[in-house]
Amino acid sequence: MKKLVFSLSVLALTLGSCSSNDDEGTVQPIPTGEISGDITTAKTYPLGNYTLQGTVKIKNGGSLTIEAGSTITANNSDGTADALLVENGGKLYLNGTAAQPIVFTEASSTPGSWGGIIMFGDAPIVGSNGNTTATSEDGNNLTYGGTNATHNGGSLKYVRVEYAGKKLTDNTSEMNGFSFYSVGTGTVLENLVAYKGADDGFEFYGGTVSTKNLISYGNFDDSFDWQDGWRGQENTNWYAYQTQTGNYGMEIEAKSVNNAFWPVVSNITLKRAAGTVTEGGTSAAEYDAIQFKKEGNGEYNNVVISGYTTAGATAVRIQDVATNTNQVDGGKIKMLNVKITDGTSQFAAKDATFTVTFPTGNYTTSTTTTGATLTSGAWSIVNGVNLIQ
């Protein structure tokens, strides 16, 4: 059962005496309370400050709406695995604004403290061995995949998720800032921030959904990651800033299936601050801006890359022979209008066993490339720091 307990305290401000000419004003109370349990009907939370207790599941037929400007706080110290999970058939409506974002955070401000926002749909995937369904890797073990390309999981606008990326006790199940399992094109994902999580900022597990205006800041693993044949076609304005700890700017794979489709992303900025190391230390060699592996592919246009200057790093890494043969040589990877602002090499193979050569026109550079173009506001500012560096 979901429960919302409103604060009963009201701060009243009385101006002057009680004469007929005096004005009286009241500061309205800010609702507080707890969000917990399963949501099976339509529930709305007004602007307020709430606590997230455990894994809140929006079930098939249920919906959750939280109004702009609200803050929802998880608490790792109580021992529960906090997360907000939308099951297939559930709807999540988080429509903040640039001035009043909806913020999900954690009481201790410690990366990896909770599970972030997880959404499931029934849009198509291509899993291992070409399977059309798979089991989630978030510890919930839910089946995802289907044939509903237009799946609609709701609308997320101007939402910031802080300190997520919880790693579960089995040491293999992980959560991200935002996890999208077979989410479809009917879902709206705009102006989202994944801030200082202990895993990926954004991860797509198949599906057809597209996104615009994403910020991945200070996440320990990859800024953007996907698998299972994700094929969003209208993605734009992705911005990543890796600082202190971070692996790839973008990790791209397709479960070793040579798909006849691919995602399209325009206007990308990938930045890495000086001194940033990978999760396993620099020797782990996950320090490239973009990695393609296991038949990952896609078209990427207007890309700015800077700061990936660790010895041996490159802007674009092809990790295996199959990806090089089927995706690079096959014309299914296009890197267009790339601008590298330092001495990082353009692209390279994993090792000397094969050579990467893009077909003419499939890897181009430009000195006028702008990368992501985002407008800052309260949605992109944390503790007085503008995340758009």
pLDDT in tens, 98-130: 999 999 999 999 999 999 999 999 999 999 999
Output the DSSP codes for 193-242: EEES-SS-SEEEES-----EEEEEES-SS-SEEEETT-----EEEEEEEE
Residue 30 lies inside a defined structural domain of this protein: no
Contact 103, 160 (CB under 8 A): yes
pLDDT in tens, 225-271: 999 999 999 999 999 999 999 999 999 999 999 999 999 999 999 99
The parent domain of residue 57 ranges over: 35-386
- The model carries a pTM of 0.92
Residue 27 lies inside a defined structural domain of this protein: no
Q: Give the chain's domain count.
A: 1
Beta-bridge mates of residue 239: 215, 269
Residue 18 lies inside a defined structural domain of this protein: no
At 294, the amino acid letter reads: K
Distance separating alpha carbons of residues 332 and 206, to the nearest angstrom? 17
Residue 307 lies inside a defined structural domain of this protein: yes
Range of weakest confidence among 94-108, 134-148, 277-291: 277-291
Distance separating alpha carbons of residues 389 and 241, to the nearest angstrom? 8
Residue 21 lies inside a defined structural domain of this protein: no
Residue 184 lies inside a defined structural domain of this protein: yes
Beta-bridge mates of residue 36: 53
Using CA atoms of 317, 322, 323, 324 in order, give the dihedral in degrees to the nearest 10.
70
Classify residue 33 as exposed, middle or buried by CB count within 10 Å of its CB (0-12, 13-18, 19+): middle
Residue 379 lies inside a defined structural domain of this protein: yes
Residue 14 lies inside a defined structural domain of this protein: no
